[in-house]
Amino acid sequence: MVGLSYAAVPLYDLFCRATGYGGTTMVATEVPIQIGEREMTVRFNANVNRGLPWRFRPVQGSVTVRVGEPTLAFYRVENTSEQTIVGTATYNVTPLKAGEYFSKIDCFCFTEQVLQPGETSELPVSFFVDPSIVDDPEMDRITTLTLSYTFFEVGTSAREQLSSTNQLAGSVIN
């Protein structure tokens, strides 16, 4: 039972990444050739799981992009402890339906982050909003997307992560 609960988080994450379910973004294999006319605002949100002694925030609160336009944004993270800590970030996009149109080219969330005591780092995310969003009538009135990350310490049990996901500490929306 413990093994099953430990495996549940990565399996669910893998399912969401593959399908775009629950606002999980897609990973781009190529950048669109054409940039569309429609503009969208992308807001950035940062959370730290309870017990992880990191400060995490977006460098800028939002950006306005045209669909298909490759964009680079940064988040800043600081290890406020006196120990080296390894963290990993989960992510999603809201509204949830928009996750299938939000494509990441490269992201700090693709790898674990190792921060030394007191270290601060700027973490990039490169993305675009898929131009096919304009063909979806359900997305006609959507003008703002929110890209949200939550950092977890690597090595903590899945049960601890799941129980504290509903009680996030340090939520920041700029």
Q: Where are the domains of the chain?
A: 2-173
pLDDT of residue 120: 98
Beta strands in 34-133 (DSSP E): 39-48, 54-58, 62-66, 71-79, 85-94, 102-107, 113-115, 120-129
pLDDT of residue 52: 97
Q: Are 118 and 73 in contact (CB under 8 A)?
A: no
To the question of pTM greater than 0.85 for the whole model, the response is: no
pLDDT under 50: residue ranges of the chain: 1-2, 4-6, 8-9, 11-12, 14, 19, 21-23, 28, 158-159, 162-163, 166-174
pLDDT of residue 155: 80
Of the candidates 113, 130, 147, the one whose C-alpha atom is nearest the C-alpha of residue 29 is 130
Domain 2-173 falls under CATH 3.40.30.10: no
Q: Are 170 and 55 in contact (CB under 8 A)?
A: yes
pLDDT of residue 24: 55
